[in-house]
Amino acid sequence: MTQHATTGQSTTELETDCITLCREMIRIPSVNFGDGKGDEKEIAEYIVSKLHEVGIESKIYESAPGRCNVVANIPGINTQRAGLVLHGHIDVVPADAADWQVDPFGAEIRDGMIWGRGALDMKNMDAMMLAIVRKWARSGYKPPRNIVLVFFGDEEAGSLYGSRWMVKNHPEVFAGCSEAVSEVGGFSVTVGVNKRLYLVEAAQKGIHWMKLTAHGRAGHGSMVNNENAVTALAAAVAKIGSYVWPQRYTKTVKVFFRKVAETTGKPYDEADLRPLLAEIGSTARMVGATLANSANPTMLDAGYKANVIPQSASAVIDGRFLPGFEDELNATIRQIVGPEIEIETITRDIALEVDFTGDLVDAMCHALLVGDPEGIPVPYLMSGGTDNKALSELGIIGYGFSPLRLPPELDFMSLFHGVDERVPLEGLKFGVNVLENFLENC
């Protein structure tokens, strides 16, 4: 046992290794700029070396120059059971150092937290995974079932060079696997009088990114033009941006808010769950987005000179639909913009929703309660998406389970892709122990 320098609390070898791995990976700037501009090679080679140190052999699958995925097989005791895919992504979004209090790739420890791009999204979980299998290899431990350990690239830009490419080109990697766990689940949210819900991701909104194009008559900016493409596009974009989407509650959302009501003693009204958002603090921003479809204008492109009316103008809309409500999203957008605006799909991805029952869920809940006997595991619907979407095409059922016990005051969701991203050391230590318990009992 070693002593934690700032808290004085004992730190196990597993926890120490996890913290070290997390910091070292943050210092490798595996930045994904989108449009194919990313490079995971250095961090992929780092992971391979860390596995090799303890005798675990792994393989890099390079989908394009520098675009890398790492796979290792961890044999289980019962090889007849269906395997588990334990996966994380190794790319991160960009960070502008001028906006940060610290070097975003310095992995500085400050105020009891590791600061840096990827600290939450998701090199913390990558470190947990690595630390656990390294501990197992040193001791000769075998998990109850086969585990396919995967580190995907390109998750932050649509997974075309990562999980999508792997599923399409190397489905054999996942043969025999029935379930998967990955990011953004198992984190605590303090509600009521110091009661902690642990949100396990059991559903995800789907994605439909659309390009809207308005066509008109080009002309001189000084003349009257009733067929101005910019005017038509601006009107359509404004209507989408101000549209109030109807509330639509999925089974996962209902289960989540019933538990919030039960835990806080507040009334549960299935006709309108929005009043309960006030009980979950800053997490309400993300969870609130799961009560309805959404469509946000994100990009505009029109014109090339101040005195020239362009012939066309375009915009990008980030559409997100609830499980079972994709058709409603598309039909509503068409109705809002009218027949004259052209709609083109840029990216589309499915919504997911799975039952919060069964042996795997029981193992997650048990592990959380061992770590925090007063904790309350509950499923939630995520407003974004993960690589579980790609794995679902192979029939693999996925959950978000990267456990963290968080301070009540930490605005967790704002740190994803945000400035001064950071993860609490005590939360990371909690997480690696809970994840190990889960993997040893699933």
The pLDDT assigned to 9 comes to: 44
Q: For the domain that residue 279 is a member of, what is the CATH number?
A: 3.30.70.360
Please check the confidence at residue 4 and state whether its pLDDT lies above 50.
Answer: no
Residues 314-331, mean pLDDT to the nearest whole number: 97
Nearest Cα to 147, choosing from 191, 193, 88?
88
Please check the confidence at residue 136 and state whether its pLDDT lies above 50.
Answer: yes
Residues 66, 215: one domain? no
Contact residues for 257 (Cβ-Cβ < 8 A; gap 6+): 268, 273, 276
What gap in Å lies between CA 68 and CA 320, rounded to an integer?
Answer: 28
- Higher-confidence position of 249 and 412: 249
Nearest Cα to 424, choosing from 8, 124, 29, 10?
124
| Single-letter residue type at 179 | E
Residues 92-100, mean pLDDT to the nearest whole number: 96
What gap in Å lies between CA 40 and CA 419, rounded to an integer?
Answer: 22
Residues 338, 420: one domain? no
Please check the confidence at residue 27 and state whether its pLDDT lies above 60.
Answer: yes
Residues 7-19, mean pLDDT to the nearest whole number: 77
pLDDT, one tens digit per residue, over 287-296 is 999 999 999 9
Q: For the domain that residue 55 is a member of, what is the CATH number?
A: 3.40.630.10
Helix crossing, 41-52 with 13-26: angle to 10°? 160
- In whole numbers, what is the pLDDT of the chain averaged over residues? 95
Judge whether 426 and 209 are in contact, CB under 8 Å.
Answer: no
pLDDT, one tens digit per residue, over 325-366 is 999 999 999 999 999 999 999 989 999 999 999 999 999 999
CA distances from 284 to 194, 255, 277, 381, 420 (A): 17, 16, 5, 12, 20
Domain containing 337 equals: 205-349
What gap in Å lies between CA 366 and CA 287, rounded to an integer?
Answer: 24
Residues 133, 253: one domain? no
pLDDT band at 1 (very low <50, low <70, confident <90, very high): very low
pLDDT, one tens digit per residue, over 38-82 is 999 999 999 999 999 999 999 999 999 999 999 999 999 998 899
Residues 95, 240: one domain? no
Residues 231, 178: one domain? no
pTM (two decimals): 0.92
Burial classification of residue 172, based on how many CB atoms lie within 10 Å of its CB (0-12 exposed, 13-18 middle, 19 or more buried): exposed
What gap in Å lies between CA 158 and CA 163, rounded to an integer?
Answer: 9
Of 300, 331, 349, the domain-final residue = 349
Task: Flag whether 153 is in a domain.
Answer: yes
pLDDT band at 155 (very low <50, low <70, confident <90, very high): very high
Max Cα-Cα span within the chain: 80
pLDDT band at 301 (very low <50, low <70, confident <90, very high): very high
The pLDDT assigned to 7 comes to: 32
Please check the confidence at residue 3 and state whether its pLDDT lies above 60.
Answer: no
The pLDDT assigned to 177 comes to: 98
The pLDDT assigned to 412 comes to: 84
The pLDDT assigned to 10 comes to: 54
Looking at the 3D structure of the chain, how many domains does it have?
2
Judge whether 114 and 23 are in contact, CB under 8 Å.
Answer: yes
Nearest Cα to 94, choosing from 146, 41, 38?
38
CA-CA-CA-CA torsion sign (103, 412, 157, 165): positive
Residues 32, 162: one domain? yes
Nearest Cα to 41, choosing from 20, 26, 63, 9?
63
Task: Flag whether 336 is in a domain.
Answer: yes
